Amino acid sequence: MQRRLVLGCGEAAREAIERVAEWPGELTIVTQRGDVVDELGGTSVETVRRAPDEPEALPADVDVVFVASDDATTNADAAERARAAYPDACIVAYLHSGSSTGARERIEGVADRVVDAERALLDRLRTVTSTPDADRLHRLASALRRIDGRVAVVAHDNPDPDAIASALALARLAEAVGTPADACYFGEISHQENRALVNLLDLELVELDEEGIEPYAGVALVDHSRPGVNDGLPADTAVDIVIDHHPPRAPIEAGFVDLRHDIGATSTLLADYLRRAGIRPTESLATALLFGIRVDTDDFSREVSAADFEAAAWLLEFADLSLLDRVESPSMTAEVLETLSRAIRDREVRGDALASNVGAIRDRDALAQAADHLLNMEGIHVVVVYGFKDGTIYVSGRARGTDVDLGETLRDALGAIGSAGGHADMAGAQVPLGILAEVADESTDELYDIVTEVISGRLFETLENATTLLDVGDDEIEWTLEFPFEEW
């Protein structure tokens, strides 16, 4: 069993010492700092509140000595005494940036390893600035610093794990450069896994109300890229930062934009920023980011990249896997079961594609869960489940084992009458009911039939005529996509 001794505990070395305290073996910490004694003292750690130069405070024998004060001269004195007391021990000494030449020479003369803050910083800068992502990290930090006040980091409406974790991570990055920030969202968190994520990890999120972003000096969007599209922001909102992994259909305007659709999750992008910035995520943040990556890549089986694996491997060191297991296994709510039942009962199948109108809904996240389950039906490769709530039709789609790009299919079918988009195998759409909400109540069969005719009709027509439409003139394509839903 290794015996370790820490002499002094400066702020710069505090986190490293806390990590060492978790290792197996014996650890003695000799410091004059009472807060360290109170927080780290325990059955596996002996803490002594004395000056490191008091001989009676030192153990009889040790294998490793870590000299960790913030003052170079104090560390030089301690390192020399440690070498005299423990000639066979390995001595690791911390050397603060700006240390005098004399103190540096004394420490290097007796220590086996020197943790040189100035040299480490220069080496890190040299490494960071030589990588392709260095400029991106620098520009993001600059964009955050330019915001004079608190930033609203806005996830899309009814945020999923990827959006939730990404918003929290960007808020953490903002705070690291001295800019206060809140992870925000509009709508509600209703999916049982998403609620479990927030509740079990005790995540701090701000639900935006009618005031929206008025109290904030800046706006950042994560996991979506346009204000007013799948969020409660006005379409003309000035955006400072956009970080997303969904392919945009229109130019994105913001001071800083990072759109990488070859990455499986926005959480991957934010985890990479944290890693490159040298920011250690908290256990809850790391667990949320890891869950976000796993959900958006369908447990590393859908649109996954090498970067997703690398981010997950880095996050594993900090995440709580037992909590992650509890988040991934919540009970299915009655609303989800009811929606799934209606989706199965009222499904319409053409070839390998299935569409189902579940009618009026209370929980829009239930649509996605129903689509996930229906995709397991034999012979089905494309599933679209939709329902309506508060004057809007919500559409959720899934695809697997097909050449169909579901994101583009929903855009072509519904983009002219609402907003639609997503990935090749996971996409969604929102379509306003328009005048239908005035002429037919949401509980009536008449509205149900009209919505089914429009949504399923457009979907199946787009799927069936995809090849044909590519061969005709632009005028016919434009007419097909711009039929006004409000005229029904």
φ, ψ of residue 377 to 5 degrees: the values are -70, 140
Specify the 3-state DSSP secondary structure of 356.
Answer: strand
Write down the domain spans for the chain: 3-121, 134-328, 334-487
Write out 376-415 in H/E/C secondary structure. CCCCCCEEEEEEEECCEEEEEEEECCCCCCHHHHHHHHHC
pLDDT at 482: 35
185: β partners:
207
pLDDT at 37: 60
**CATH level 2 (architecture), domain 3-121:** 3-Layer(aba) Sandwich (3.40)
pLDDT at 437: 62
Taking domain 134-328, whether its CATH number is 3.60.20.10 is answered by no
Q: What is the 8-class DSSP label of residue 56? A: G
Residue 333 in contact with residue 363, Cβ under 8 Å?
yes
Q: Which of 424, 427, 372, 416 is nearest to 394 (CA)?
A: 427
φ, ψ of residue 415 to 5 degrees: the values are -60, -30
Cα 366 from chain centroid (whole Å) = 22
Q: Any idea which fold 334-487 has?
A: Diaminopimelate Epimerase; Chain A, domain 1 (3.10.310)
How many helices (H) and strands (E) would you count in the chain? 19, 18
CA angle 235, 238, 171 (to 5 degrees): 110
Burial tier of 55 (Cβ tally within 10 Å: 0-12, 13-18, 19+): exposed
Sequential pLDDT tens for the chain (488 residues): 678 888 888 776 677 777 777 777 788 888 877 766 666 655 556 766 667 667 676 888 888 898 888 888 988 999 999 999 999 889 998 887 667 888 889 999 999 888 886 666 555 555 555 455 667 888 899 899 999 999 999 999 888 899 999 999 999 999 988 899 999 999 888 777 788 888 888 899 999 887 788 899 999 999 999 898 888 899 899 999 999 998 887 788 899 999 998 899 999 999 999 998 888 999 999 999 999 998 888 888 778 888 999 999 999 989 988 888 777 765 567 788 889 889 999 999 999 999 999 999 988 888 988 898 898 888 899 999 999 988 899 999 999 888 888 989 999 999 888 888 887 888 899 999 886 666 556 556 788 988 999 999 999 999 987 544 444 444 443 333 333 333 33
Question: Which pairing describes strands 113-116 and 90-95: parallel, antiparallel, or unpaired?
Answer: parallel
pLDDT at 486: 37
DSSP string of 425-462, one letter each residue: SEEEEEEE-TTHHHHS-TTSHHHHHHHHHHHHHHHHHH
Specify the 3-state DSSP secondary structure of 2.
Answer: coil
pTM above 0.85, yes or no: no
Question: Which pairing describes strands 218-222 and 256-259: parallel, antiparallel, or unpaired?
Answer: unpaired
Distances from the Cα of 214 to the Cα of 27, 102, 116, 309, angstroms: 51, 55, 46, 38
